[in-house]
Structure 1
Amino acid sequence: MPTELRLRGRLFLDAEIHVLTGLHIGGAGGKVAIGGVDSPVIRDPITDEPILPGSSLKGKMRSLLERWGGYEPNHAIGQARIHVCKTEERYRNCPVCHIFGVPGEISFAYPTRLVVRDAFLTDGSREVLRRADTDLPFTEVKWEAAIDRVTSAAVPRQIERVPAGAVFRAPRIRASDASDEAHGALMVYHIYFPQDLEWFDHVVEAMGLVEDDYLGGYGSRGSGQVAFRRLRLGHKIASPRTPYPEDITWLGDPSPDLTEFRRQLPELLGQIRPLLSSG
């Protein structure tokens, strides 16, 4: 493997995450008062608004990409199992390990390429949910019943969900600027070697796998269908002898959906490739 480790640039992928069916990403239930829901969603402790953790999205992307590619889930992290290349030879050509990272004890690994930010309600969604007659602030309560397979007894439970129609997005870079350019990026992708640019397609592929699956819990019962919309790609690339760019250079107009973004991706990466060569 190459021995020189130099950050050549970063790609920035911004997108809105549209909730198509009620979304449940669970939070700690320790603060739920008597009479509260059985399974609450995770909320921002300051605003009390539901959030979409970057760890949930990144973990789902990795899990689905591993299954799609047939990667062996050979490493346990708590109760979960992920794929980890155990030898340098296997690691060298494994996009999953490079993009999503490996445990710290793997001595031959390079830094994780992909960072996924937490996402928050957009201003529009916040206002709609604030005015809506929801069961709880910004959320709905869905009643379900677990059926005992022996006695057929029904055990009711309450699932808190972010309602369909809500939209999440990465936070603004400049809070005082309401323009679209003020938004940050949902994902940041680090480029250390030329191969990293070619592997970026796997990030977008994983997003497509998420759209066809679900985020959060209770997906097999209808929850968690999402769609990525208003996607755009930007970069910060400069030679080692020039200052690191302050602003993201965005390429083209936002794509309305993931299908259109994937169609445009080869052209967008084609604009970035010469910049890396010159840097």
Structure 2
Amino acid sequence: MSETYTLKLDRKIFIQGEIKLLTGMHVGGSSLGLGIGGADKVVIRNPVDNVPYIPGSSIKGKMRSLLEKSLGLVQISQERGEWTGKLCQNPEEDAVQLFGFPADMADTKPDYAPTRLTVRDSRLLNEQTLAEAENTDMYCTEIKTEVAIDRLTSKANPRQFERVPAGARFGLDLVLDLYNVDAGSNGENSRADRFVHLVCQALSLVEDDYIGGQGTRGYGQVEFIVTSVTERTADSYKQGQMERQLSEYQEQFALFINKEKAPV
């Protein structure tokens, strides 16, 4: 006999703020159509207005990778003589339920809801400042020339990377979905605290790592500034009500992300 259950969206938590670049960032885009004299490696841009942005997939992928590494959830295996590291696919783990898991596992247990965390593309907030800067090389970006040295012949092989310069600011927009299966026996969202804590932890890890390519050579250091944490319940959508501030979660992000550390 088949088993059925009701999956109901209980609420959405909106986490918004800014991403500030502390060093130049390179999130690669297509090099098709580059003119003579352009960079060898270009950044991704909105094809409509030509403005650089950070894909949500780049942010979310980095958050998940670092979080699962920090929790010891990455398994390393050898296949056909090659070592590979795979992200965790165990749906029992909160991190996997937060970021998602393969669709063929979705019906293994009632509380395995769909992916809970949405990370939207980050648009550039200070476009005009970058566009009017005197020393930028392309629209809102800089060109950084690097030289690779052949270890045998000492021949220099220059290459050029396009980067969004330090000081650029992008929007941060995360949405956390909570379902009826996340509620505890007392009717409260017992998993909400754990999921929000994981998001805080993941963002903090990214701050101490990087976004985009060439990070081990200084690219992509960022600072997250969370300015608003609100929620809308399923009932508020029916009644046309606006979001409600979540001061308790705002304080948690202030502690983890905004560096307002508690006194020792």
Report TM bin, short chain: 0.7 to 0.9
| 1:91-110 paired onto structure 2 within 5 Å | 91-92=91-92, 94-107=93-106, 108=108, 109-110=112-113
Give TM-score scaled by structure 2 length: 0.81
> Which 4+ runs in 1 deviate beyond 4 A?
252-259, 261-264
Aligned counterpart for 2:115 among listed residues 112, 116, 141: 112
Aligned counterpart for 2:242 among listed residues 234, 241, 247: 247
Separation (CA, whole Å) in 2 of partners of 1:46 and 1:263: 33
Root-mean-square deviation (CA), in Å? 3.0
Query: 1:121–1:149: structure 2 CA closer, same or farther, 3 Å change rule?
Result: same
Query: 1:39–1:258: structure 2 CA closer, same or farther, 3 Å change rule?
Result: farther
Aligned counterpart for 1:11 among listed residues 1, 10, 13: 13
| 1:73-88 paired onto structure 2 within 5 Å | 73=75, 81-85=86-90
Separation (CA, whole Å) in 1 of partners of 2:258 and 2:17: 16
| 1:151-162 paired onto structure 2 within 5 Å | 151-162=153-164
Separation (CA, whole Å) in 2 of partners of 1:253 and 1:130: 38
Question: Does the aligned pair in 1 maintain the 2:145–2:159 contact within 8 Å?
Answer: yes
Separation (CA, whole Å) in 2 of partners of 1:223 and 1:59: 17
Identical residues among aligned pairs (%): 39
Query: 1:24–1:222: structure 2 CA closer, same or farther, 3 Å change rule?
Result: same
Question: Does the aligned pair in 2 maintain the 1:232–1:253 contact within 8 Å?
Answer: no
- 1:188 maps to 2:189: no
Question: Does the aligned pair in 2 maintain the 1:139–1:162 contact within 8 Å?
Answer: yes
Question: Does the aligned pair in 2 maintain the 1:74–1:84 contact within 8 Å?
Answer: no
- 1:139 maps to 2:158: no
Separation (CA, whole Å) in 2 of partners of 1:236 and 1:67: 32
Query: 1:62–1:4: structure 2 CA closer, same or farther, 3 Å change rule?
Result: same
Separation (CA, whole Å) in 1 of partners of 2:124 and 2:213: 19
| Residues matched between the structures, number | 238
Task: Give the superposition deviation at 1:73.
Answer: 3.8
For structure 2, the 5+ residue unaligned runs are 184-189, 260-264
Task: Give the superposition deviation at 1:252.
Answer: 4.8
SS of alignment partner, residue 4 of structure 1: coil
SS of alignment partner, residue 238 of structure 2: coil
Separation (CA, whole Å) in 1 of partners of 2:226 and 2:196: 18
Question: Does the aligned pair in 1 maintain the 2:225–2:258 contact within 8 Å?
Answer: no
